[in-house]
């Protein structure tokens, strides 16, 4: 707060000064609210284990492996589990029920993501010499542009617990439907509306988006696999408990 502002407050009555101070606090951008982080080390009661909640769902927890854009197990991922808020799991179960009638299933790559994992991504992105996974995950993007182009950020909706990365697979075999690009592929071809993918890929992307939207999710314009629960229970809280 600058000296001119303080000088103006001193000229006001006590009541007026208090009002001005209150307004000043309200005018300051709500960074503290938006950047809130809960340093909980155990799973909150509002979260569920996705596989236990929906036994038929397929999981592929790539961040608990070396098969991801970093090329190593990501901080905070200690097991092949996915956690998600209970309302998100309830909505996903409805999508799963519709797909199962046609011998299909959801396959989930990531749900809740600890803040420490996001911090790991940021550190990795700043190390421009580490490009061992570039050819498979970001062949057309210079690593120094990952922040500029929005592929890496210091905060992720995943840490709020109601964002999900997923695709559609055959229920029995687990074979993925063709989507035109693989998960976490940093390229415009991964945008849901990209017209360069095949007709079948566009149809499969539209099927996934239609079902997710029908059951309360909204899509991300840059990633066909990424969906956020519209009525997420923790819109301003970024959790950091590990995935055990």
Query: Is 86 among the catalytic positions?
Result: no
List all residues 6 or more positions away from 108 whose beta carbon is below 8 Å from its beta carbon. Answer: 50, 57, 58, 59, 60, 82, 164, 165, 166
Where b means 16+ CB within 10 Å and e means fewer, 111-122 reads bbbbbebbebbe
Instruction: Give strand pairing partners of 167.
Output: 107
What ranges make up the beta strands (E) of 82-142?
83-85, 104-110
Instruction: Give strand pairing partners of 102.
Output: none
DSSP string over 198-232: -HHHHHHHHHHHHHHHHTTEEEETTEEEEEEETT-
Question: CA nearest 213: which of 66, 43, 91?
Answer: 91
List all residues 6 or more positions away from 35 whose beta carbon is below 8 Å from its beta carbon. Answer: 155, 238
What ranges make up the beta strands (E) of 50-117?
58-59, 83-85, 104-110
DSSP 144: G
* Catalytic site residue from 98, 223, 232, 244: 223
Distance, in Å, from the CA atom of 35 to the CA atom of 96, rounded to the nearest integer, reads 33
Q: So which residues are the catalytic ones? A: 223
């Amino acid at each position: 707060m600058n000296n001119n502002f303080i000088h103006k407050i001193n000229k006001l009555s006590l009541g007026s000064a208090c009002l001005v101070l209150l307004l000043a606090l309200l005018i300051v951008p709500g960074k503290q609210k938006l950047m809130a982080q809960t340093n909980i080390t155990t799973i909150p009661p509002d979260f569920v284990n996705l596989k236990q909640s929906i036994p038929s769902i397929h999981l592929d927890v790539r961040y608990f492996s070396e098969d991801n854009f970093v090329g190593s197990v990501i901080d905070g991922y200690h097991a092949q589990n996915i956690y998600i808020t209970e309302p998100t799991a309830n909505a996903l179960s409805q999508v799963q029920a519709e797909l199962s009638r046609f011998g299909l299933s959801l396959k989930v790559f990531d749900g809740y993501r600890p803040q420490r994992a996001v911090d790991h991504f940021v550190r990795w992105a700043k190390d421009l010499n580490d490009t061992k996974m570039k050819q498979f995950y970001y062949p057309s993007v210079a690593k120094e542009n990952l922040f500029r182009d929005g592929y890496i950020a210091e905060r992720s909706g995943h840490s709020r617990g109601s964002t999900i990365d997923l695709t559609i697979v055959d229920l029995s075999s687990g074979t993925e439907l063709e989507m035109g690009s693989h998960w976490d592929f940093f390229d415009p071809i991964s945008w849901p509306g990209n017209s360069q993918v095949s007709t079948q890929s566009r149809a499969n992307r539209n099927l996934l988006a239609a079902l997710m939207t029908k059951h309360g999710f909204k899509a991300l314009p840059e990633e066909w696999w990424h969906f956020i629960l519209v009525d997420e229970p923790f819109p301003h809280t970024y959790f950091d408990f590990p995935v055990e």
